[in-house]
Chains A and B, each alone.
Chain A
Amino acid sequence: MIESGTIADALVAAASSDRGVRAIEHDGRASVLAYKTLLAESLQIAGALHARGLTTGDRVALVIPEVADFIRVFFGISIAGLVPVPLCPPAQAGDLPTFARQSQHILDASRASAVVTTADVEPLLVNPVRLKPDPTNTADPIKTVLVDELRAGPSLTRPIAVPVEAPALLQFTSGSTAAPKGVVLTHANLHANISAIIGPRGLAVTGSDIGVSWLPLYHDMGLIGMLFSAVYSGNDVVILSPVLFLKRPTAWLEAMSTYRGTVSFAPNFAYDLCLRRVKPSQVNALDLSTWRAAGCGAEPIRADTLSAFADHFAPAGFRASSFVSSYGLAEHSLAVAFAPGGITVDAVDADRLVGHSIAAPVDGSVQVVRLVGCGCAFPDHEIRIVDEKGRPLPERRVGAIVARGPSVMQGYFENPEATAEALRDGWLHTGDLGYLADGQLFVCGRTKDLIIRQGRKYHPADLESAISDLPGVRPSGAVVFAISRIEDDDEVVAVVEARASVASGDVIEQVRRRVRETAGLELDRIIVGPPGTIPRTTSGKVRRAEARDRVQAGTLPTR
């Protein structure tokens, strides 16, 4: 890996090898982009972007569903000295109005000079339910450029040199609606985080590693964790369309098997999906014996899911010791901590965890919470658990997770208020709750969503997990939050997506009883609706704040 440098420097270094990216599209079509070729094509695209008057530092958005073209254009934008702003394509955004609205919010907030897209997607950017233009919004109209228009014309001879302190990527975090926050990462941030990921305290990547990923490239885990890690280490990587994986989860595992993949990351739900959708007869046709780093992150990690996955795929040579649980967030470039070598489970007393913020190892027959360890801080990086006043807490005390080091973002784009909230005295306040045990990080919820009832604290994620296990409730079909009331305790509300076959009244009773039994909490209101009731991000995480807003505004559909 290069000592330091920009994304372009990393691609130039990789181009001296014979390696590259194999891109597999939604319909299974595959193409190989050798780093050499990718560099040449990126220089061509960079030239075409310059010919359109775009200059160093301009933000250029890209919304490109095709894997190979996304990669070409991303590197083209970067090599041109411009700042890429990746957007979620329509198929993953849900419906077309949502896609149009989200895109418009991000294009406005990033003040992008242009958006590179395809002929298919371009008309969908016109928003049929667009909000009225904000009179204070002085941004120019969005100019679109089609990928096909960038394939001809004069090429740059070499990448535009930019300092490593310059912005390299503007990454809009999932979970944002009307006021999306753009995480500004510099080339130095990316280099620091990728060094940590592939370094000896991370995955200890060698020249013989081969990455395989179906993760979306508009999202940090796919873009930085899988694609950039491969480019910066000069290794081969196979990138599948997320649509292909979601249509046929076996495609991921078949690619691991066929291309002898050694490293692949995915959220917990993907392991669960493979468990449910890959039949034993298909397992036997797979060879997963080369998979040495099976990363899991981006959402709560369930020990049960991972051990069931390991059992299910053991006949294909999968080993549970390959699991790497991880914790990270876009504001920290990507990764904060990795725990290679299989999962570590900490079984703690549920009542003391939710009631007293103490992660007490279980003794006796009490309600147990099983949490998965995410490892220790990377070299040159620090993790702390702090109380409300920012004072460090001892081991096994639950508090706010804060992090410091060279991977921490510069701030949110043109948003000093949100930046000041997230970055305090050099520490990134992650918004997540956790504790340290033997130096290892355990994550157990979000600070901002904490429910406080009669002086006791409840973590919504725990309540949601308990509710989602009920037979009448859809998987991950629950969101719990508190609505503040003056001179009274918070009103605690659960919104539940019920299975079509179960009566609402029955679901309400099940939910009420389950929360009472597992957490000793009485819910004030239970709202039952069909699937789709709970607002979610494009990556499927529940948007608690938006759910709360909609309940307060009375705009949540129910049945």
Chain B
Amino acid sequence: MGHAGRVRATFLDLVQTSDAAPPPDPFVRDIVDILRRVSRLPIEPTLDSELLADLGFDSLQVLELVGEIEDHFKITVPPNDLARVRTVAQVAAEVRALVATPERRA
């Protein structure tokens, strides 16, 4: 992904990279939009950005983010998973799993 020396891929890299290993992720662009909207700051999320430490989210914004993601993807995030999810990649993985397995949505 990208040129030498670059250690972290941004979401947009992932979306736009056609020949790299991970295919464009249908969730990624939407999640980036939601992250930016909730953050209200000009953030550049990467997959391993931590919501609290790197993107400047506080615990209230994390729950706001969950509410927005639930509305957008028509899913329900189990409350215990909130305490598990720290990075953007984990958010994306969680959303992907919930969308794929409707029985986990409750």
Chain A interface residues (CB < 8 Å from chain B): 26-27, 65, 89-91, 93-96, 99, 120-121, 124, 241, 243, 246-248, 269, 273, 277, 474-475, 499-501, 530-532, 540
Chain B interface residues (CB < 8 Å from chain A): 41-43, 52-60, 63-64, 66-67, 70, 76, 78-80, 82-84, 86, 106
The 10 closest A-B pairs by CB, nearest first: A247-B67, A500-B56, A246-B63, A91-B79, A27-B76, A90-B83, A532-B52, A91-B82, A248-B67, A243-B79
- Inter-subunit contact A94/B83 (CB<8 Å): yes
- Inter-subunit contact B58/A247 (CB<8 Å): no
- Inter-subunit contact B64/A500 (CB<8 Å): no
18 A–B pairs (Cβ distance < 8 Å), ordered by A: A26-B76, A90-B80, A95-B86, A243-B63, A243-B79, A243-B82, A246-B63, A246-B64, A247-B64, A247-B67, A475-B58, A500-B41, A500-B55, A500-B56, A501-B41, A501-B42, A501-B56, A531-B57
* Contact residues in A for B79 (Cβ distance below 8 Å): 26, 65, 89-91, 241, 243
Of all chain B residues, which has the CB nearest A536? Answer: B59
- Inter-subunit contact A273/B60 (CB<8 Å): yes
- How far is A120 from B83 in the complex, measured between Cα atoms in Å? 12
- How far is A124 from B80 in the complex, measured between Cα atoms in Å? 9
Give A234 Cβ to nearest chain B Cβ, in Å.
31
Determine which residue in B55, B59, B63, B78 has the highest number of CB atoms from chain A within 10 A of its CB, and name it. B63
- How far is A266 from B80 in the complex, measured between Cα atoms in Å? 24
Q: Which of A26, A27, A530, A540 contacts B56 (CB 8 A)?
A: A530
- How far is A537 from B63 in the complex, measured between Cα atoms in Å? 17
- How far is A530 from B51 in the complex, measured between Cα atoms in Å? 11
Give B91 Cβ to nearest chain A Cβ, in Å.
14
- Inter-subunit contact A247/B63 (CB<8 Å): yes
- How far is A501 from B42 in the complex, measured between Cα atoms in Å? 8
Of all chain A residues, which has the CB nearest B41? Answer: A501
Of all chain B residues, which has the CB nearest A121? Answer: B80
- Inter-subunit contact A91/B83 (CB<8 Å): yes
Q: Which of B42, B70, B80 contacts A65 (CB 8 A)?
A: B80
- How far is A511 from B83 in the complex, measured between Cα atoms in Å? 32
Known: A91-B80, A500-B43, A501-B42. A530 touches B53 (CB 8 A): yes
Our count of residue pairs bridging A and B at CB distance below 8 angstroms stands at: 72
- How far is A284 from B52 in the complex, measured between Cα atoms in Å? 34
- How far is A248 from B106 in the complex, measured between Cα atoms in Å? 17
- Inter-subunit contact A99/B83 (CB<8 Å): yes
- Inter-subunit contact B83/A96 (CB<8 Å): yes
* Contact residues in A for B106 (Cβ distance below 8 Å): 27
* Contact residues in A for B64 (Cβ distance below 8 Å): 246-247, 277
- How far is A285 from B57 in the complex, measured between Cα atoms in Å? 30
* Contact residues in A for B54 (Cβ distance below 8 Å): 500, 530
- How far is A411 from B37 in the complex, measured between Cα atoms in Å? 48
Of all chain A residues, which has the CB nearest B61? Answer: A531
* Contact residues in A for B78 (Cβ distance below 8 Å): 120
Of all chain A residues, which has the CB nearest B43? Answer: A500
Give B53 Cβ to nearest chain A Cβ, in Å.
5
- How far is A99 from B84 in the complex, measured between Cα atoms in Å? 11
- Inter-subunit contact B56/A499 (CB<8 Å): yes
- Inter-subunit contact A499/B41 (CB<8 Å): yes
* Contact residues in B for A26 (Cβ distance below 8 Å): 76, 79
- Inter-subunit contact A531/B83 (CB<8 Å): no
* Contact residues in A for B42 (Cβ distance below 8 Å): 501
- How far is A530 from B53 in the complex, measured between Cα atoms in Å? 6
- How far is A492 from B78 in the complex, measured between Cα atoms in Å? 43
* Contact residues in B for A241 (Cβ distance below 8 Å): 79
Of all chain B residues, which has the CB nearest A530? Answer: B53
- How far is A500 from B54 in the complex, measured between Cα atoms in Å? 8
* Contact residues in A for B86 (Cβ distance below 8 Å): 95
Determine which residue in A90, A91, A540 has the highest number of CB atoms from chain B within 10 A of its CB, and name it. A91
* Contact residues in A for B58 (Cβ distance below 8 Å): 474-475, 531-532
* Contact residues in A for B59 (Cβ distance below 8 Å): 94, 540
Give A126 Cβ to nearest chain B Cβ, in Å.
14
- How far is A94 from B66 in the complex, measured between Cα atoms in Å? 14
Of all chain B residues, which has the CB nearest A96? Answer: B83
- How far is A241 from B67 in the complex, measured between Cα atoms in Å? 13
- How far is A246 from B70 in the complex, measured between Cα atoms in Å? 13
* Contact residues in A for B57 (Cβ distance below 8 Å): 531
Q: Which of A120, A499, A530 contacts B80 (CB 8 A)?
A: A120
- How far is A93 from B66 in the complex, measured between Cα atoms in Å? 16
- How far is A540 from B106 in the complex, measured between Cα atoms in Å? 28
Give A467 Cβ to nearest chain B Cβ, in Å.
16
* Contact residues in A for B67 (Cβ distance below 8 Å): 246-248
Q: Which of A65, A269, A530 contacts B52 (CB 8 A)?
A: A530
Give A245 Cβ to nearest chain B Cβ, in Å.
9
Known: A99-B83, A246-B60, A247-B64. A531 touches B41 (CB 8 A): no
* Contact residues in B for A540 (Cβ distance below 8 Å): 59
Of all chain B residues, which has the CB nearest A26? Answer: B79
